[in-house]
């Protein structure tokens, strides 16, 4: 089993790329059609000074899509994974902050967002989802080489180890 695991890393990295990249592309794309909802979602967290709310709300979907496309395509994987991990840490901190302060908001992770009725929040599930994505992004930062990647990392994944070839 131990010898097989290194051979599986590129496939696990592919799965991580598709998961994190796919979530970011979908999340960013769902925010684009309604910029007012994005502003409402960012404002609902009550952490940014008002002059920063709109730039963050308008820039976040573009950043999510850019990171997602890079991961899906397999280009700049380590850089995109590190940036994704940092963004996910910010998301986790934001949701945890809202939860700890008793705010009743939808995270706005996939569009909409803003205040919701009491009991309509899903903070534990949102944090759990983002922690899982953070683990995948950290894995990619450590092992960016994967299958089906356009970047040079796909070229760095040997199909056989030199030791295995010599043993035959």
pLDDT at position 112: 86
127 against 154, higher pLDDT: 127
Helix, strand or coil, per DSSP, at residue 29: helix
pLDDT tens digit string along 30-82? 999 999 999 999 999 999 999 999 999 999 999 999 999 999 999 999 999 99
Burial class (CB in 10 A: 0-12, 13-18, 19+), 38: buried
Residue closest to 21 by CA, chosen among 58, 66, 62, 86: 66
pLDDT tens digit string along 94-129? 999 999 999 999 999 998 888 999 889 999 999 999
The answer to whether the CB of 140 falls within 8 A of the CB of 17 is yes
157 against 126, higher pLDDT: 126
pTM of the model: 0.85
pLDDT at position 165: 43
Which whole-number Å values give the CA distances from 154 to 71, 73, 76, 82, 93, in the listed order? 12, 11, 11, 18, 33
């Amino acid at each position: 089993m131990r010898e097989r695991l290194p051979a599986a890393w590129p496939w696990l990295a592919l799965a991580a790329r598709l998961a994190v990249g796919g979530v970011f592309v979908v999340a960013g794309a769902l925010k684009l059609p309604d910029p007012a909802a994005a502003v409402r979602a960012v404002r609902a967290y009550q952490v940014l000074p008002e002059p920063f709310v709109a730039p963050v709300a308008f820039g976040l979907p573009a950043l999510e899509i850019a990171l997602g496309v890079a991961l899906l395509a397999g280009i700049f994987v380590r850089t995109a994974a590190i940036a994704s991990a940092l963004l996910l840490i910010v998301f986790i901190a934001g949701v945890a902050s809202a939860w700890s302060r008793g705010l009743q908001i939808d995270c706005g992770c996939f569009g909409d967002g803003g205040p919701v009725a009491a009991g309509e929040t899903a903070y534990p599930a949102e944090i759990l989802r983002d922690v899982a994505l953070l683990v995948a992004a950290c894995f990619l930062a450590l092992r960016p080489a994967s299958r089906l990647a356009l970047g040079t990392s796909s070229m760095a994944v040997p199909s056989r180890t030199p030791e295995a070839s010599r043993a035959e």
